[in-house]
Structure 1
Amino acid sequence: MRHILILICLFFVVMPRAYAEHILIAADRWCPFNCEVGAELPGFMVEVAQRVFSDHGHDVEYIEMNWSRAIQETRKGNINAIMGGFKSDAPQFIYPQEELAVLGNSFFVRKDSDWTYEGV
Protein backbone atom coordinates (compact mmCIF):
# COMPACT_ATOMS: atom_id res chain seq x y z
CA MET A 1 0.00 0.00 0.00
CA ARG A 2 1.47 3.33 -1.04
CA HIS A 3 1.09 6.27 1.34
CA ILE A 4 1.77 9.78 0.15
CA LEU A 5 1.44 12.41 2.83
CA ILE A 6 0.71 15.89 1.63
CA LEU A 7 2.68 18.54 3.42
CA ILE A 8 0.95 21.86 3.74
CA CYS A 9 3.08 24.99 3.97
CA LEU A 10 0.77 27.40 5.66
CA PHE A 11 -2.83 27.45 6.62
CA PHE A 12 -4.68 30.19 8.32
CA VAL A 13 -7.67 30.37 10.61
CA VAL A 14 -10.04 33.08 9.50
CA MET A 15 -9.76 35.85 12.06
CA PRO A 16 -9.13 39.59 12.12
CA ARG A 17 -5.48 39.15 13.23
CA ALA A 18 -4.67 37.25 10.02
CA TYR A 19 -4.37 40.57 8.19
CA ALA A 20 -2.18 42.29 10.79
CA GLU A 21 1.26 43.59 9.90
CA HIS A 22 2.78 41.11 12.36
CA ILE A 23 2.11 37.45 11.53
CA LEU A 24 2.83 34.86 14.22
CA ILE A 25 3.47 31.32 12.94
CA ALA A 26 4.06 28.34 15.23
CA ALA A 27 5.11 24.73 14.77
CA ASP A 28 7.16 22.02 16.38
CA ARG A 29 10.65 21.58 14.95
CA TRP A 30 10.61 19.48 11.77
CA CYS A 31 13.79 20.28 9.91
CA PRO A 32 14.34 20.99 7.00
CA PHE A 33 10.78 22.38 6.76
CA ASN A 34 10.96 24.46 9.94
CA CYS A 35 14.09 24.26 12.07
CA GLU A 36 15.47 26.05 15.11
CA VAL A 37 14.01 29.49 15.84
CA GLY A 38 16.55 32.22 15.17
CA ALA A 39 18.94 29.96 13.27
CA GLU A 40 20.72 31.24 10.19
CA LEU A 41 18.79 28.55 8.29
CA PRO A 42 15.40 28.37 10.06
CA GLY A 43 13.91 25.97 7.51
CA PHE A 44 12.72 26.50 3.97
CA MET A 45 9.05 26.97 4.90
CA VAL A 46 9.96 29.68 7.41
CA GLU A 47 12.13 31.38 4.78
CA VAL A 48 9.36 31.24 2.16
CA ALA A 49 6.80 32.68 4.62
CA GLN A 50 9.17 35.49 5.62
CA ARG A 51 9.98 36.34 2.01
CA VAL A 52 6.41 36.23 0.72
CA PHE A 53 4.86 38.22 3.54
CA SER A 54 7.71 40.75 3.87
CA ASP A 55 7.23 41.60 0.18
CA HIS A 56 3.69 42.68 1.18
CA GLY A 57 4.68 44.70 4.24
CA HIS A 58 4.15 42.02 6.89
CA ASP A 59 6.57 40.98 9.62
CA VAL A 60 6.70 37.20 10.21
CA GLU A 61 7.65 35.73 13.58
CA TYR A 62 8.19 31.98 13.81
CA ILE A 63 7.98 30.36 17.24
CA GLU A 64 8.50 26.77 18.28
CA MET A 65 6.01 24.89 20.47
CA ASN A 66 4.39 21.50 20.96
CA TRP A 67 2.33 20.61 17.87
CA SER A 68 -0.95 20.02 19.72
CA ARG A 69 -0.56 23.31 21.56
CA ALA A 70 0.22 25.15 18.31
CA ILE A 71 -3.03 23.87 16.79
CA GLN A 72 -4.98 24.78 19.94
CA GLU A 73 -3.50 28.30 20.16
CA THR A 74 -4.25 28.88 16.47
CA ARG A 75 -7.86 27.80 17.00
CA LYS A 76 -8.09 30.31 19.87
CA GLY A 77 -6.72 33.08 17.65
CA ASN A 78 -3.52 33.57 19.67
CA ILE A 79 -1.41 32.47 16.69
CA ASN A 80 -2.09 33.39 13.06
CA ALA A 81 -0.91 30.17 11.42
CA ILE A 82 0.88 26.87 11.81
CA MET A 83 3.20 25.34 9.25
CA GLY A 84 4.15 21.86 8.18
CA GLY A 85 0.83 20.24 9.01
CA PHE A 86 -1.51 17.78 7.37
CA LYS A 87 -5.20 18.35 6.66
CA SER A 88 -5.97 15.54 9.08
CA ASP A 89 -4.33 17.57 11.89
CA ALA A 90 -6.89 20.37 11.68
CA PRO A 91 -9.47 19.74 8.94
CA GLN A 92 -11.39 22.95 9.71
CA PHE A 93 -8.40 25.19 8.90
CA ILE A 94 -7.98 26.85 5.51
CA TYR A 95 -5.37 25.31 3.20
CA PRO A 96 -3.65 26.58 0.06
CA GLN A 97 -4.64 25.04 -3.26
CA GLU A 98 -1.06 23.98 -3.94
CA GLU A 99 1.39 22.42 -1.48
CA LEU A 100 4.85 23.83 -0.96
CA ALA A 101 6.19 20.29 -0.49
CA VAL A 102 5.02 16.68 -0.63
CA LEU A 103 6.29 14.04 1.75
CA GLY A 104 6.47 10.36 0.85
CA ASN A 105 7.98 7.24 2.35
CA SER A 106 10.26 5.00 0.30
CA PHE A 107 12.41 1.92 0.89
CA PHE A 108 15.67 1.30 -0.96
CA VAL A 109 17.71 -1.88 -1.03
CA ARG A 110 20.80 -3.10 -2.83
CA LYS A 111 20.19 -4.60 -6.24
CA ASP A 112 21.29 -8.05 -5.02
CA SER A 113 18.95 -7.97 -1.95
CA ASP A 114 15.93 -10.30 -1.84
CA TRP A 115 14.15 -8.18 0.82
CA THR A 116 10.67 -6.95 -0.11
CA TYR A 117 8.24 -4.77 1.78
CA GLU A 118 5.38 -6.84 3.21
CA GLY A 119 3.43 -4.24 5.19
CA VAL A 120 3.51 -2.74 8.64
Structure 2
Amino acid sequence: MSPHKSLYPFVFLLSVHSAMVHSDTVQEVTLLADEWCPYTCLPDKDKPGILVEVGEMIFANSQTEFNFQLINWSRAVNNVRAGKSQGLLGAYIGDAPDFIFHSHPILFSQMCFYTKPSDSWTFTGFESLTKRVISVINGYSYGDKFDQYMVKHPSNIINITGDKLLERELLMLQTKRINTILEDKFVFGKKAEEFGLVSKGCLAREGVYMAFSPANEALSTELAGWVDQELEKLKSNGKIELILKKYLD
Protein backbone atom coordinates (compact mmCIF):
# COMPACT_ATOMS: atom_id res chain seq x y z
CA MET A 1 0.00 0.00 0.00
CA SER A 2 -0.03 -2.53 -0.58
CA PRO A 3 -1.76 1.15 -1.76
CA HIS A 4 -4.24 6.19 -0.57
CA LYS A 5 -7.42 10.63 -0.06
CA SER A 6 -8.54 13.88 1.42
CA LEU A 7 -8.45 14.48 5.17
CA TYR A 8 -10.57 12.14 7.28
CA PRO A 9 -10.90 13.60 10.79
CA PHE A 10 -10.74 10.27 12.56
CA VAL A 11 -8.18 9.03 15.06
CA PHE A 12 -8.08 5.63 16.71
CA LEU A 13 -6.56 5.76 20.20
CA LEU A 14 -5.30 2.33 21.13
CA SER A 15 -3.81 2.66 24.61
CA VAL A 16 -1.66 -0.18 25.84
CA HIS A 17 0.18 -1.08 29.03
CA SER A 18 3.03 -3.11 30.67
CA ALA A 19 6.58 -2.98 29.22
CA MET A 20 7.37 0.09 27.14
CA VAL A 21 9.22 0.30 23.85
CA HIS A 22 11.57 2.65 25.73
CA SER A 23 9.94 5.14 28.06
CA ASP A 24 12.75 7.64 27.69
CA THR A 25 12.36 7.86 23.91
CA VAL A 26 8.71 7.34 23.00
CA GLN A 27 5.39 7.28 24.82
CA GLU A 28 3.11 7.85 21.85
CA VAL A 29 3.23 6.64 18.26
CA THR A 30 1.00 8.13 15.56
CA LEU A 31 0.73 6.22 12.28
CA LEU A 32 -0.99 7.73 9.25
CA ALA A 33 -2.88 5.99 6.45
CA ASP A 34 -5.73 6.59 4.07
CA GLU A 35 -8.93 4.59 3.80
CA TRP A 36 -7.85 1.32 2.18
CA CYS A 37 -10.32 -1.16 3.58
CA PRO A 38 -9.99 -3.99 4.60
CA TYR A 39 -6.43 -2.96 5.51
CA THR A 40 -7.25 0.45 7.05
CA CYS A 41 -10.95 1.27 7.35
CA LEU A 42 -13.23 4.03 8.53
CA PRO A 43 -13.87 3.95 12.31
CA ASP A 44 -15.56 0.71 13.27
CA LYS A 45 -15.32 -0.87 16.69
CA ASP A 46 -15.55 -4.41 15.32
CA LYS A 47 -13.64 -4.03 12.04
CA PRO A 48 -11.28 -1.03 12.03
CA GLY A 49 -9.00 -2.76 9.52
CA ILE A 50 -6.53 -5.63 9.34
CA LEU A 51 -3.50 -3.41 9.86
CA VAL A 52 -5.14 -1.43 12.65
CA GLU A 53 -5.79 -4.63 14.58
CA VAL A 54 -2.27 -5.86 13.93
CA GLY A 55 -0.90 -2.51 15.08
CA GLU A 56 -2.91 -2.70 18.27
CA MET A 57 -1.49 -6.14 18.99
CA ILE A 58 2.07 -5.10 18.17
CA PHE A 59 1.95 -2.34 20.78
CA ALA A 60 -0.15 -4.31 23.28
CA ASN A 61 2.93 -5.26 25.30
CA SER A 62 4.14 -1.69 25.63
CA GLN A 63 2.98 1.42 27.44
CA THR A 64 3.17 3.30 24.17
CA GLU A 65 -0.09 4.87 23.07
CA PHE A 66 -0.80 3.86 19.48
CA ASN A 67 -2.64 6.53 17.47
CA PHE A 68 -3.94 5.79 13.98
CA GLN A 69 -5.19 8.60 11.74
CA LEU A 70 -6.78 8.53 8.29
CA ILE A 71 -5.73 11.33 5.94
CA ASN A 72 -4.86 11.82 2.27
CA TRP A 73 -2.02 9.44 1.37
CA SER A 74 0.28 12.00 -0.25
CA ARG A 75 -0.19 14.26 2.74
CA ALA A 76 0.49 11.35 5.08
CA VAL A 77 3.81 10.61 3.36
CA ASN A 78 4.84 14.27 3.49
CA ASN A 79 3.87 14.66 7.16
CA VAL A 80 5.80 11.59 8.23
CA ARG A 81 8.82 12.54 6.13
CA ALA A 82 8.85 15.90 7.94
CA GLY A 83 8.64 14.19 11.33
CA LYS A 84 5.15 15.48 12.18
CA SER A 85 4.03 11.88 12.80
CA GLN A 86 6.06 8.77 13.51
CA GLY A 87 5.06 6.55 10.62
CA LEU A 88 2.80 5.23 7.87
CA LEU A 89 0.50 2.24 8.20
CA GLY A 90 0.04 0.16 5.06
CA ALA A 91 3.03 1.24 2.99
CA TYR A 92 4.86 -0.48 0.17
CA ILE A 93 8.61 0.12 0.24
CA GLY A 94 8.15 2.04 -3.01
CA ASP A 95 5.79 4.51 -1.31
CA ALA A 96 8.67 6.02 0.66
CA PRO A 97 11.99 4.22 0.12
CA ASP A 98 13.81 6.77 2.30
CA PHE A 99 11.74 5.73 5.35
CA ILE A 100 12.81 3.14 7.91
CA PHE A 101 11.05 -0.22 7.52
CA HIS A 102 10.91 -3.31 9.69
CA SER A 103 12.58 -6.37 8.16
CA HIS A 104 9.58 -8.50 7.22
CA PRO A 105 6.19 -7.41 5.82
CA ILE A 106 3.06 -7.66 7.92
CA LEU A 107 1.27 -9.23 4.96
CA PHE A 108 1.18 -9.03 1.17
CA SER A 109 -0.97 -6.99 -1.20
CA GLN A 110 -1.59 -7.75 -4.86
CA MET A 111 -2.71 -5.20 -7.42
CA CYS A 112 -4.93 -6.49 -10.23
CA PHE A 113 -6.30 -5.05 -13.48
CA TYR A 114 -10.09 -4.79 -13.77
CA THR A 115 -12.10 -4.20 -16.94
CA LYS A 116 -15.59 -4.66 -18.30
CA PRO A 117 -16.31 -8.31 -19.14
CA SER A 118 -16.82 -7.38 -22.80
CA ASP A 119 -13.19 -6.25 -22.99
CA SER A 120 -11.14 -9.06 -24.56
CA TRP A 121 -7.82 -7.74 -23.23
CA THR A 122 -5.75 -9.70 -20.69
CA PHE A 123 -2.60 -8.60 -18.89
CA THR A 124 0.26 -10.78 -20.12
CA GLY A 125 3.13 -8.45 -19.22
CA PHE A 126 3.99 -4.78 -19.51
CA GLU A 127 4.14 -4.97 -23.29
CA SER A 128 0.40 -5.78 -23.24
CA LEU A 129 -0.43 -2.38 -21.69
CA THR A 130 0.14 -0.42 -24.92
CA LYS A 131 -3.51 0.47 -25.56
CA ARG A 132 -4.65 0.63 -21.96
CA VAL A 133 -5.69 3.78 -20.10
CA ILE A 134 -5.27 2.86 -16.45
CA SER A 135 -6.56 4.67 -13.36
CA VAL A 136 -4.21 4.83 -10.37
CA ILE A 137 -4.38 6.66 -7.05
CA ASN A 138 -2.15 9.71 -6.82
CA GLY A 139 0.86 9.09 -4.59
CA TYR A 140 0.53 5.29 -4.44
CA SER A 141 3.33 2.91 -5.23
CA TYR A 142 2.30 -0.15 -7.22
CA GLY A 143 5.63 -1.92 -6.94
CA ASP A 144 8.92 -0.97 -8.55
CA LYS A 145 8.20 -2.28 -12.05
CA PHE A 146 4.82 -0.62 -12.46
CA ASP A 147 6.10 2.58 -10.83
CA GLN A 148 8.76 2.70 -13.54
CA TYR A 149 6.13 1.99 -16.18
CA MET A 150 4.05 4.97 -15.00
CA VAL A 151 7.06 7.28 -15.33
CA LYS A 152 7.86 6.04 -18.84
CA HIS A 153 4.26 5.94 -20.11
CA PRO A 154 2.35 8.87 -18.55
CA SER A 155 -0.15 8.95 -21.43
CA ASN A 156 -1.41 5.53 -20.33
CA ILE A 157 -2.01 6.66 -16.74
CA ILE A 158 -4.82 8.70 -15.16
CA ASN A 159 -4.04 9.81 -11.59
CA ILE A 160 -7.05 10.05 -9.29
CA THR A 161 -7.07 12.44 -6.33
CA GLY A 162 -9.63 13.57 -3.78
CA ASP A 163 -12.50 11.68 -2.15
CA LYS A 164 -14.56 8.60 -3.08
CA LEU A 165 -11.78 7.32 -5.29
CA LEU A 166 -13.16 3.87 -6.11
CA GLU A 167 -16.54 5.34 -7.04
CA ARG A 168 -14.86 7.87 -9.31
CA GLU A 169 -12.79 5.17 -10.99
CA LEU A 170 -15.95 3.19 -11.69
CA LEU A 171 -17.62 6.25 -13.20
CA MET A 172 -14.58 6.91 -15.39
CA LEU A 173 -14.69 3.32 -16.63
CA GLN A 174 -18.40 3.60 -17.41
CA THR A 175 -17.88 6.87 -19.31
CA LYS A 176 -14.86 5.43 -21.16
CA ARG A 177 -12.33 7.93 -19.82
CA ILE A 178 -10.34 4.87 -18.82
CA ASN A 179 -10.55 1.22 -19.83
CA THR A 180 -8.70 -0.34 -16.89
CA ILE A 181 -8.72 0.01 -13.10
CA LEU A 182 -5.66 -1.09 -11.14
CA GLU A 183 -6.42 -1.85 -7.50
CA ASP A 184 -5.68 -4.29 -4.70
CA LYS A 185 -7.77 -7.43 -5.07
CA PHE A 186 -9.02 -7.37 -1.48
CA VAL A 187 -9.84 -3.66 -1.58
CA PHE A 188 -11.65 -3.75 -4.91
CA GLY A 189 -12.58 -7.37 -5.58
CA LYS A 190 -16.08 -7.36 -4.07
CA LYS A 191 -16.96 -3.98 -5.56
CA ALA A 192 -15.74 -5.20 -8.95
CA GLU A 193 -18.10 -8.17 -8.72
CA GLU A 194 -20.93 -5.87 -7.66
CA PHE A 195 -20.44 -3.76 -10.81
CA GLY A 196 -19.89 -6.72 -13.10
CA LEU A 197 -16.17 -6.15 -13.66
CA VAL A 198 -13.60 -8.89 -14.02
CA SER A 199 -9.94 -9.27 -13.13
CA LYS A 200 -7.70 -9.58 -16.20
CA GLY A 201 -4.43 -10.37 -14.46
CA CYS A 202 -2.32 -9.09 -11.59
CA LEU A 203 1.05 -7.61 -10.76
CA ALA A 204 3.48 -9.39 -8.44
CA ARG A 205 2.64 -9.32 -4.74
CA GLU A 206 4.14 -6.53 -2.65
CA GLY A 207 4.89 -6.49 1.06
CA VAL A 208 2.86 -4.16 3.29
CA TYR A 209 4.65 -2.46 6.18
CA MET A 210 4.68 0.17 8.85
CA ALA A 211 7.16 2.78 7.60
CA PHE A 212 8.82 5.12 10.08
CA SER A 213 10.03 8.69 9.67
CA PRO A 214 13.59 9.38 8.48
CA ALA A 215 13.42 12.65 10.44
CA ASN A 216 14.15 10.78 13.69
CA GLU A 217 16.36 7.88 12.69
CA ALA A 218 17.11 6.64 16.21
CA LEU A 219 13.47 6.48 17.26
CA SER A 220 12.36 5.03 13.93
CA THR A 221 15.01 2.31 14.08
CA GLU A 222 13.86 1.44 17.59
CA LEU A 223 10.22 1.28 16.52
CA ALA A 224 11.04 -0.87 13.49
CA GLY A 225 12.94 -3.27 15.73
CA TRP A 226 9.99 -3.46 18.12
CA VAL A 227 7.63 -4.23 15.24
CA ASP A 228 9.90 -7.04 14.02
CA GLN A 229 10.05 -8.54 17.49
CA GLU A 230 6.29 -8.45 18.09
CA LEU A 231 5.35 -9.37 14.53
CA GLU A 232 7.32 -12.60 14.77
CA LYS A 233 5.33 -13.53 17.88
CA LEU A 234 1.99 -12.75 16.22
CA LYS A 235 2.85 -14.84 13.18
CA SER A 236 4.09 -17.79 15.22
CA ASN A 237 1.04 -17.87 17.50
CA GLY A 238 -1.41 -17.63 14.60
CA LYS A 239 -3.03 -14.34 15.64
CA ILE A 240 -2.40 -12.60 12.32
CA GLU A 241 -3.98 -15.52 10.50
CA LEU A 242 -7.08 -15.14 12.69
CA ILE A 243 -7.32 -11.44 11.82
CA LEU A 244 -7.02 -12.21 8.11
CA LYS A 245 -9.82 -14.78 8.34
CA LYS A 246 -12.03 -12.25 10.11
CA TYR A 247 -11.80 -9.85 7.17
CA LEU A 248 -11.20 -12.02 4.13
CA ASP A 249 -13.27 -15.18 4.63
Q: Is the 8 A contact 2:2 2:110 kept in 1?
A: no
Please state which structure has a larger fraction of its residues in helix: 2
After superposition, what is the alpha-carbon deviation per residue over 1:49-104, rounded to whole angstroms, capped at 9, x for unaligned?
Answer: 11111211111111100001001110111111111111111110011211111122
After TM superposition, the structure 1 = structure 2 runs for residues 1-120 of structure 1, keeping only pairs within 5 Å, are: 7=2, 19-105=25-111, 117-118=123-124, 119-120=128-129
- Report the alpha carbon displacement of residue 39 of structure 1 after superposing the two structures with TM: 4.0
Whole-Å Cα distance in 1 between the matches of residues 44 and 81 of structure 2? Answer: 25
The TM-score normalised by the length of structure 1 is 0.70
Identical columns (%): 28
**Structure with bigger RCO (C-alpha 8 Å, 6+ apart):** 1
Whole-Å Cα distance in 1 between the matches of residues 53 and 43 of structure 2? Answer: 11
Aligned pair in 2 of structure 1 residues 80, 37: CA closer, same or farther (>3 Å)? Answer: farther
Structure 1: 5+ residue runs without aligned partners?
Answer: 1-5, 9-18, 108-113
Q: Is the 8 A contact 1:37 1:63 kept in 2?
A: no
- Report the alpha carbon displacement of residue 38 of structure 1 after superposing the two structures with TM: 5.0
Q: Is the 8 A contact 2:29 2:86 kept in 1?
A: yes
**Greater than 3 Å deviation, 4+ residue runs:** 114-118
The TM-score normalised by the length of structure 2 is 0.36
After superposition, what is the alpha-carbon deviation per residue over 1:1-21, rounded to whole angstroms, capped at 9, x for unaligned?
Answer: xxxxx849xxxxxxxxxx421
- Report the alpha carbon displacement of residue 115 of structure 1 after superposing the two structures with TM: 7.5
- Report the alpha carbon displacement of residue 116 of structure 1 after superposing the two structures with TM: 5.1
Whole-Å Cα distance in 1 between the matches of residues 54 and 90 of structure 2? Answer: 12
Cα RMSD after superposing both structures: 2.4
Larger radius of gyration: 2
Partner of 1:77, secondary structure, is coil
